[in-house]
Structure 1
Amino acid sequence: MPFGTPEAPRVAVIGEARLEVDPEIARIGVTVSARGADRRAALDDLTRRNAAALELIRSYGEAVEKVETGAFSISPELTRSGRGERVRAYQGSVRLSAELGDFTALGELTTRLADLELTRIDGPWWALRPDSPAHGEARRTAVREAVQRAREYAEALGARLTALVELADQGAEQPVPYGALDGGLRMAAFAGGGGPESVPALDLEPQRQTVQAQVTARFLMSPPRL
């Protein structure tokens, strides 16, 4: 019954939700650099500065929920000398990332990291946790909106909803059976802050997050009174 029957017409609607919520975590990027006349000197300086940055981040205890090391590189800088090339110096860097749930410590940590030698700070990037209650609330709101919209269509025809036939996430390849609602969520996380030129901006205001959900619902309704 792709279009229902006169005795049981089918109505299809889209339910949408858009919530504005406070962020739950903030992420910052830390790039530690070193430059030396020889490879060993550059590597020693880089190791020392990386250790200092890690020690400072970890000193904030539970305020820092996660710290990870990303890319590491050390490479020669070449200069031409006559017909050949020679190594002028070595440049190295280590990329760190830190995730904080305590925003009161964020401004202080960011400034202290930026004060370290040859250290660049990027961020903060505000976000919600993957298991944030805001995700579920957006889904529930989208479903309630779909039911309300379908009920209004049915009432406009002097009918009433009798059954739910399908409930599908936005972009789902296959319809999701009744009772299997999950997903349908898009989260937009907005970045704030900048590089070391923005320091010391200690008063970092968290940017609210946009959470969206959309579902397609199909219902059967009683015969309309036309």
Structure 2
Amino acid sequence: MTNPPPASPPTPYGTPDEPRLAVRGEARLEVDPEIARIAVTVAVRGTDRRAALDDLTQRNAEARELIRSYGDAVEKLETGALLVTPELGRHGRGERVRRYHGRVRLTATFSDFTALGELSTRAADLDLASVEGPWWALRPDSPVHREARRQAVREAVTRAREYAEALGAELTAVVEVADEGTEHPDAWMAREASRGYGGIAAAGAEAAPALDLEPQRQTVYARVNARFLMTRPQL
């Protein structure tokens, strides 16, 4: 009994009776942001090192207390960069410290945007404080990302079906669906990206009214490459 000959590997472009069809599916959604972040930096300076450290500790506590006073509106509070550095004199011999500088950077994440404008101005009203942001964003697990991927796949199927119909053929099977770039290691990886940036930079002694902030819409992208099999075209 003879063994049957091994099946030949599929050709990358299919066969005349069962051609392959490769398409790209894309989706672009514009949605409202889900969170916003601001950075509050408090600073000190003084000729005495211990006094500068004490002042920095106090101002950091004041900023933290202010942010935490907004309760559930603040999803997350994180301490970022901490810097304490001496400033050396420019003249004279030896390394003589002229004064000390210190700063602490706090980052707060908000889900309640109504509190964001008020906190921004109140934080900027602290002594030697600066505020950066807001940075608008979606959560990493936002359902918007999943919906963008679904729309990209549906768009790929629709496009492939239109190409097949233009050839007098029909789709018979899906061979592959892949994020753009995953087929080639050196290609740019597909991504879903959301972007958003606003800016506030302030410091002063006079009380300021709450800012009326307009959330920046977020753009989410998704791209897939898909390959299908179709019936023999009617040319």
Q: In structure 2, how many angstroms separate the alpha carbons of the residues matched to 1:201 and 1:59?
A: 16
User: Is this contact kept in 1: 2:127–2:203, CA < 8 A?
Assistant: no
- Structure possessing the higher radius of gyration over alpha carbons: 2
Q: Is the 8 A contact 1:139 1:184 kept in 2?
A: no
Give the aligned partner of residue 198 of structure 2.
192
Match of 1:222 among 209, 227, 231: 231
CA distance in 1, matches of 2:194, 2:223: 14
Query: Does structure 1 residue 160 correspond to structure 2 residue 170?
Result: yes
Normalising by structure 2, report the TM-score: 0.89
CA contact (8 A) 1:138 1:185 kept: no
Change over 3 Å in CA distance of 1:152–1:173 after alignment to 2: closer
Q: Which stretches in structure 2 are left out of the alignment for 5+ residues?
A: 1-10
Partner of 1:68: 78
Deviation at 1:197, TM superposition (A): 6.6
Give the Å deviation of 1:7: 1.2
Counterpart in the other structure of 1:178: none
SS at match of 2:90: strand
When the two structures are aligned, how many residues end up with a matched partner?
219
Describe the superposition over 1:133-166 as per-residue Cα deviations: whole angstroms up to 9, x where unpaired. 1101110110011000000000011111000001
Q: Which runs of 5+ in 1 are unaligned?
A: 176-182
Amino acid at match of 2:233: P
> For 1:74 and 1:185, how far apart are their aligned partners in 2?
39
Aligned to 2:117: 107
Question: SS at 1:113's partner residue?
Answer: helix
- Greater fraction of residues in strand: 1
Q: Is the 8 A contact 1:23 1:207 kept in 2?
A: yes
Is the contact made by 1:139 and 1:185 (CA closer than 8 Å) also made in structure 2?
A: no
Q: How far off its partner does 1:74 sit?
A: 0.7
* Structure-2 residue corresponding to 1:139: 149
Q: What's the RMSD between the two structures over aligned residues? A: 1.8
Which residue of 2 is the match for residue 9 of structure 1?
A: 19
User: Which 4+ runs in 1 deviate beyond 4 A?
Assistant: 197-201
Contact (CA 8 Å) 1:68, 1:96: kept in 2 or not? Answer: yes
Question: Which residue identity is paired with 1:136?
Answer: R
